[in-house]
Chain A
Amino acid sequence: MTRNGTVVWLTLAGLSALALFPITYKVKALEEQLAQINSAHARSQEAIRVLRAEWAYLTRPERLADLADRHLDLAPMTGGQIASFDAVPQPVDLAAAGPVDPGAESLAVKP
């Protein structure tokens, strides 16, 4: 009786040990993977910081003004080019205008 019990417990212990091995290895592999991802993440974060600084450097107004001057036929905006929405002619309100011929409506939205 006692011996049977011992055998059962030893078998169970052996089985759980066997089951534990692959899990341990799996955890180790996952941990390595996590470490890699972490360091890749940190590298990416650093790269983002560097790229943000580079972007700010390349889009600094002084350089943009110079590039626009050399490559574009654009002039600085003047106040006269700004208008309010009130100055824009409003389109006719189709719904308020009553029943409309469907063909005409589609023409209105597809120029």
Chain B
Amino acid sequence: MTQLALDHALRLSVAAARGRRAPLVVEGDAKRSVERARRRLTVAAGLFAFAFLVVAVRVAELALGGDVAPRTGQAWSAAATTTARADIVDRNGVLLAANLPTASLYANPEKIIDLEEAARGLASVLPGTDEAQLLKRLREGRSFVWVRRGLSPAQQAAVHALGLPGLEFLHEERRVYPQGDLLAHVLGFTDIDNQGIAGLEKTLDAELRRRALAGEGPLALGIDVRVQQVLRDEIQASIDTFKAKGGVGVVLDVKSGEVVALASLPDFNPNRPAGASQEARFNRATLGVYEMGSIFKVFTVASALDSGTVDLSGGFDASHPIRVARYTISDSHAKNRWLSVPEIFIYSSNIGSAKMALAMGGDLQQAYLRRLGLLTPVGLELPEMGQPMMPRPWREISTMTVAFGHGIAVSPLQTATAFAAVVNGGTLLQPTLLKNQSGVAPEGQRVLSQQTSDRMRALLRLVVVAGTGKAANVEGYQVGGKTGTAEKASAAGYQRNALLSSFIGAFPMDDPRYVVLVTLDEPKGTKETYGYATGGWTAAPTVSRIIARMAPLVGLAPTEPAVGADAVVPALEPELESVLAEGGATLASLTTP
């Protein structure tokens, strides 16, 4: 046995020394322990093999590329510099609203050593901070207290310089409106958390956020800041001259429906909306509804001509005021005779237009007003939209008063939209604040025939050449339009001295491009206007100045040759002459009073 073991050991060692495998012959206890060792070795080898396999697979994965992201530095991404809200620009790319980075200061009172010292220090570097109130808020025991949001870089540096612990900055964005008051009512404003709460900012809140996320660049409006400035400036000048309470201005592109300028005065600075009065924040152009007065005669005459109720050669007896119930309808530019349709229009005869509407009938009148979009709210991208007010029920007296713009209240924007349909060939376009990117005129809804529109353009031009709107003329630009003066209604009835004076015009009248509407709220007559505060004396000259300034800006050359006030659109002249002749008048007799 011993001999056998020794012999075996020797054979083993010899085999080991030779590096060759020798057959093992083990038996008994030795065999068991060797078997155990072998099992252990197998397990260990298995573990190692597994580990190597893992390494090998990983190496193969790396070598073959796969989807293993290589460790790289953080490359610059667009997301790093995008803002929470997209910018807004005008039709020429001028910046109207932008998000700017700003720092907001908050305090963690638990980390502040001396609350009183901190409050004193902050009050000294941040003007307008109430030290006592700040201290009270710091002592409330919360661990997060806003001190001031939207600090300027200089204020931020000053707070840094205080060197107080427990004060932290949070980087935020703030909406700024570089144009200031200019477009307050169009743009609206946002709250401190950049949520749109008025104007376009509110309506297009989601769209502005989506654009910013998608990196689609700024939102372009159809507004032209230059025209907007002209409009606002001139209306402000007229408000000052006539000591009016306020004013409204709308400039509309008659071919695309784009709102080129929209002003409501008084206005406010959207950068500091909190300080604005309720009156300043009221958008008179879209939210306010007013009795527009004689401007409605445009729609009365247009629908009467379009429906064939009257012809241009027709007319009505305007020699006596109409008495209905307790009302008397009379003319302010009374001629006290039979008037032809053009005369009714250019002399702005209430009696004539009331009779014209009666001849047409209330149902037809309502149908036309509805087609012109005057009985339903006009859709524009603003939350501030006024609901038109109309007589209910629509009696005969309503038909008569609505014919000259009383008893029905619509927003100035709505009036301009319907007027655009009258002069652009009879197509009602949806007004929009957004820029028409395609350059293709949108397809509108035909509401009047081309012939009616042509005749109306001639009549509107006549009003400026020979009627109540002479002051609106601009040499070379063939302005046509209609005056409107409404007495403001109060609880005690209409007020003789509180007027709403308007002029709505379009130019150039042979191929209208823009509609300009100006309304002044309670203008007072001056020495220059001989005390008159009507639309022809106040709003018409304002429109004239606006057109004179804006036409060159938008690249409209005056008609060649520059013509005076006596000139009528050449193409329309013969038709008008023949029409006037039937009424016993000529163009010359009209233009010479």
> What residues make up the interface of A, taking CB atoms closer than 8 Å to B?
30-31, 34-35, 37-38, 41-42, 45-46, 49-50, 52-57, 59-62, 65, 76-84, 87
Contacts and interface: CB of A to CB of B under 8 A. Distances in A.
A45 B81 contact: yes
A62 B230 CA distance: 9
Interface stretch (B113-121, B286-294, B321-329, B556-564): B556-564
Q: Which 6 pairs, one residue from A and one from B, show the smallest C-beta to C-beta distance?
A: A61-B229, A56-B178, A56-B95, A31-B73, A79-B558, A57-B178
A79 B100 contact: no
Interface in B538-555: 548-549, 551-553
Contacts of A52: 95, 98
Contacts, number: 94
Contact of A60 (B176, B178, B557): B178
A61 B225 contact: yes
A83 B559 CA distance: 10
Contacts of B556: 79, 82
B474 interface: yes
A82 B233 CA distance: 23
A46 B100 CA distance: 8
Given A79-B558, A82-B552, A83-B557, A60 B179 contact: yes
A87 B229 CA distance: 31
A9 to B, nearest CB: 15
Contact of B80 (A34, A38, A56, A87): A38
B180 interface: yes
Contacts of B178: 53-54, 56-57, 60
A49 B98 contact: yes
Interface in B39-87: 72-76, 80-81, 83
A81 B73 contact: no
A79 B81 contact: no
10 contacts: A38-B76, A41-B81, A49-B83, A52-B98, A53-B100, A60-B180, A62-B229, A76-B549, A79-B475, A84-B557
A101 B101 CA distance: 66
Contacts of A57: 178-180
Interface string B223-253: 0011011000100000000000000000000
Contacts of A53: 95, 98, 100, 176, 178
A53 B192 CA distance: 18
Q: Contact residue range for chain B?
A: 35 or more
A63 B96 CA distance: 15
A77 B553 CA distance: 8
A46 B182 contact: no
Contacts of A76: 549
Q: Which of A54, A65, A78: most chain B Cβ within 10 A?
A: A78
B477 interface: yes
B476 to A, nearest CB: 5
A49 B180 CA distance: 17
A52 B83 CA distance: 14
Nearest to B557: A82
Contact of B551 (A30, A56, A61, A79): A79
A45 B215 CA distance: 14
A28 B544 CA distance: 69
A60 B182 contact: yes
B88 to A, nearest CB: 11
A34 B75 contact: yes
Contact of A30 (B73, B83, B182, B476): B73
A78 B98 contact: no
A78 B179 contact: no
B565 interface: no
Given A30-B73, A52-B98, A57-B180, 15 more contacts: A31-B72, A34-B75, A38-B75, A49-B83, A50-B100, A53-B95, A53-B178, A56-B95, A56-B98, A60-B182, A61-B182, A61-B226, A76-B549, A79-B476, A79-B551
A42 B229 CA distance: 34
Nearest to B171: A46
Contacts of B94: 56, 59
A84 B95 CA distance: 31
A79 to B, nearest CB: 4
Contacts of B557: 79, 82-84
Q: Which of A30, A81, A82: most chain B Cβ within 10 A?
A: A82
Nearest to A31: B73
A31 B549 CA distance: 57
B548 A65 contact: no
A65 B229 contact: yes
Contacts of A65: 229, 233
Contacts of A81: 552
A50 B95 CA distance: 11
Given A53-B100, A79-B562, A42 B76 contact: yes
Contacts of B560: 84, 87
B320 to A, nearest CB: 44
B100 A62 contact: no
A65 B232 CA distance: 13
Nearest to A45: B81
A42 B77 CA distance: 9
A61 B549 CA distance: 13
A62 B76 CA distance: 39
